[in-house]
C-alpha cells in the first residue's frame, strides 16, 4: 500500500509540474504577444473608417454625460482591434495621470491625424468637446463614404484589366507556342499577324524574368521620383489634368479643401492654424500652395476669396460663393455648401465613369482576346494556301 501511495504521489507531482510548465509557457507567450502589440501601437496607422466610428462613439458617450476616462474605457473594451485597444488604453492612462486629451493623442500621430488632434484642442479650449467631436465625426464619415464610392467604382475596371492581362500572358506564353509548333510543320510563310504573335510569344517566353525585373525597376524609380518634391508636384498636376479621371480627382480635392476648412473654422480653430491643417490633410500640392498663399495674404489683412480668384485651380463658382460668405460673415456655411455640391458632382462623375468604362472594357477584351484568337486561326482558315506551299 505504501508503494502504491508513493507512486500516486509521484504521478500527481509530475502532473502538477507539467501544468505549471504549460501555464508558464502560456504566460510567456501572452507576454510576448502583448509586447508585440505595444510595439505596433506606437506606429499604428488607424484606417479612416475606424477613426470615424471611434470619434462618433466617443462623441455620443460624452453627450450622454460620461466622464472622458470612462468613455475611453468603454471603447477600449468594445473594440475588436487589439492594437487599437493598446492605443486607447495608453491614451486613457495618460489622461488619468493628469494630461489633457489632446496631449495624450499627440503621442499617436499615426492613429489620430492632425485634423482630429486640432479639433480636440479646440474642443478643450471651448469646453464643447462632445459637440466638436460630433462635427469631426461627420466630416470623417463623409470622407469615408466618398472614398468607398470611388474605390467600388474602380474595383471593376481594375479587376477586368488585371484578368485581361493575365489571360493574354497565358495565351502568349503557353497556348501560342503549341500553335507555333504546328504551323512550323507547314513550312510556308505565315500571315503577318500570326507571325507577330509567335515572335512576341517567343520573346516573352525567353525574357519574362527580365521583363518582371524591368517592370519592378521602373516602378521603384517612379516611386522614388514621386517621393521628391518635384516628382510629387508633377504627379499631382498630372492627376488633375489626366483624361477621364482628372475631373474626378479635381472635384474630390476641392470638396476636401472646402469641408475641412468649414469644419475647422466652425469649431473655432484660428484661420492660420486652419490653413496649416487643410494643407496637410489635402495631400495635394495645388491645395498646399494655395493654403500658403492664403495664409500670407490673410496675415497682411487680405481675404481668402482674393487668393482663390487668382488661382486657376479653384473654379469661378467656388470663388463667388466664398466671396459671398465673406460679405455675410458665413464663410464656413458657404464652404459647406460648396463641399456638398462637389460631393454630389463627384458621385455623379463616378456613376458616369462606371457606365462609360463597362462598354469600353467589353470592347477592349473583345478586340484583344478576339484579335489573338483570329490571328492564330488565320493560317487554318488559309490552310489550303499554306498547304499549297508544301507542294
Shared domain for 226 and 97, answered yes or no, is no
198 and 91 part of one domain: no
Is 39 within the bounds of a domain?
no
When divided into structural domains, the chain yields a total of 2
pLDDT in tens, 339-350: 889 888 888 888
Residue 256: C-alpha distances to residues 261, 270, 278, 279, 329 (Å): 8, 19, 8, 10, 21
Residues 277, 338, single domain; the answer is yes
Q: How far apart are CA 143 and CA 256, in angstroms?
A: 8
In the chain, count of helices (H) and strands (E)? 17, 0
Is 305 contained in some domain? yes
**pLDDT computed for residue 182 by the predictor:** 79
Query: Of the candidates 112, 129, 151, which is a domain's last residue?
Result: 112
Is 118:322 a contact under the CB 8 Å cutoff?
Answer: no
222 and 152 in a single domain? The answer is: yes
Distance between CA 55 and CA 246 in Å, rounded?
A: 32
C-beta of residue 173 within 8 angstroms of C-beta of residue 201: yes
Q: What was the pLDDT predicted at 115? A: 84
119 Cβ contact list (under 8 Å, min separation 6): 132, 133, 135, 136, 263, 264, 267, 269
pLDDT (tens digit per residue) in 362-371:
888 888 888 8
Is there a single domain that holds both residue 263 and residue 379?
Answer: yes
**Residues 130, 58: Cα–Cα separation, whole Å:** 8
CA–CA separation, 157 and 361 (whole Å): 7
Q: What is the pLDDT of residue 187?
A: 66
Burial of 70 (0-12, 13-18, 19+ CB in 10 A): exposed
pLDDT in tens, 252-299: 889 889 988 888 888 888 888 888 888 888 888 999 899 999 999 988
Report the C-alpha gap between 147 and 48 in whole angstroms.
10
Positive or negative torsion for Cα 153, 219, 240, 361 = negative
CA–CA dist 285, 277 (Å, integer): 14
Q: Which domain holds residue 91?
A: 48-112
CA distance 93 to 153: 42
Q: Does one domain contain both 180 and 70? A: no
Residue 95 has pLDDT above 70, yes or no: yes
Q: Average per-residue pLDDT in the chain?
A: 83
Q: Is the pTM of this model over 0.95?
A: no
Amino acid at each position: 500500500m505504501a508503494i502504491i501511495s508513493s507512486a500516486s504521489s509521484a504521478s500527481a507531482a509530475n502532473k502538477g509540474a507539467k501544468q505549471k510548465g504549460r501555464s508558464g509557457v502560456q504566460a510567456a507567450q501572452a507576454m510576448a504577444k502583448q509586447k508585440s502589440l505595444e510595439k505596433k501601437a506606437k506606429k499604428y496607422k488607424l484606417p479612416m473608417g475606424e477613426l470615424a466610428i471611434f470619434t462618433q462613439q466617443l462623441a455620443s458617450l460624452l453627450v450622454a454625460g460620461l466622464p472622458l476616462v470612462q468613455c475611453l474605457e468603454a471603447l477600449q473594451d468594445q473594440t475588436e482591434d487589439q492594437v487599437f485597444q493598446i492605443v486607447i488604453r495608453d491614451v486613457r492612462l495618460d489622461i488619468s495621470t493628469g494630461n489633457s486629451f489632446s496631449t495624450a493623442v499627440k503621442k499617436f500621430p499615426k492613429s489620430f491625424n492632425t485634423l482630429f488632434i486640432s479639433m480636440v484642442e479646440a474642443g478643450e479650449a471651448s469646453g464643447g468637446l462632445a459637440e466638436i467631436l460630433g462635427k469631426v465625426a461627420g466630416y470623417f464619415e463623409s470622407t469615408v463614404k466618398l472614398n468607398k464610392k470611388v474605390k467600388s467604382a474602380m474595383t471593376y475596371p481594375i479587376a477586368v484589366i488585371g484578368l485581361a492581362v493575365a489571360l493574354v500572358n497565358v495565351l502568349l506564353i503557353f497556348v501560342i507556342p503549341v500553335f507555333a509548333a504546328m504551323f512550323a510543320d507547314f513550312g510556308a510563310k505565315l500571315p503577318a499577324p500570326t507571325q507577330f504573335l509567335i515572335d512576341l510569344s517567343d520573346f516573352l517566353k525567353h525574357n519574362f524574368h527580365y521583363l518582371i525585373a524591368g517592370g519592378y525597376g521602373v516602378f521603384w524609380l517612379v516611386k522614388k521620383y514621386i517621393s521628391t518634391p518635384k516628382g510629387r508636384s508633377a504627379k499631382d498636376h498630372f492627376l488633375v489634368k489626366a483624361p477621364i479621371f482628372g475631373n474626378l480627382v479635381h472635384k474630390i480635392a476641392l470638396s476636401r479643401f472646402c469641408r475641412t476648412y468649414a469644419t475647422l473654422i466652425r469649431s473655432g480653430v484660428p484661420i492660420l492654424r486652419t490653413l496649416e491643417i487643410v494643407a496637410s490633410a489635402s495631400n495635394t500640392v495645388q491645395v498646399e500652395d494655395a493654403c500658403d498663399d492664403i495664409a500670407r495674404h490673410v496675415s497682411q489683412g487680405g481675404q481668402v476669396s482674393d487668393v482663390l480668384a487668382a488661382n486657376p485651380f479653384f473654379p469661378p463658382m467656388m470663388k463667388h460663393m466664398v466671396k459671398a460668405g465673406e460679405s455675410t460673415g458665413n464663410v464656413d456655411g458657404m464652404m459647406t455648401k460648396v463641399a456638398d455640391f462637389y460631393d454630389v458632382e463627384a458621385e455623379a462623375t463616378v456613376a458616369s465613369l462606371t457606365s462609360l468604362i463597362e462598354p469600353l472594357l467589353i470592347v477592349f477584351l473583345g478586340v484583344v482576346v478576339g484579335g489573338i484568337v483570329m490571328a492564330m486561326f488565320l493560317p487554318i482558315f488559309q490552310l489550303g494556301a499554306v498547304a499549297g506551299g508544301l507542294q
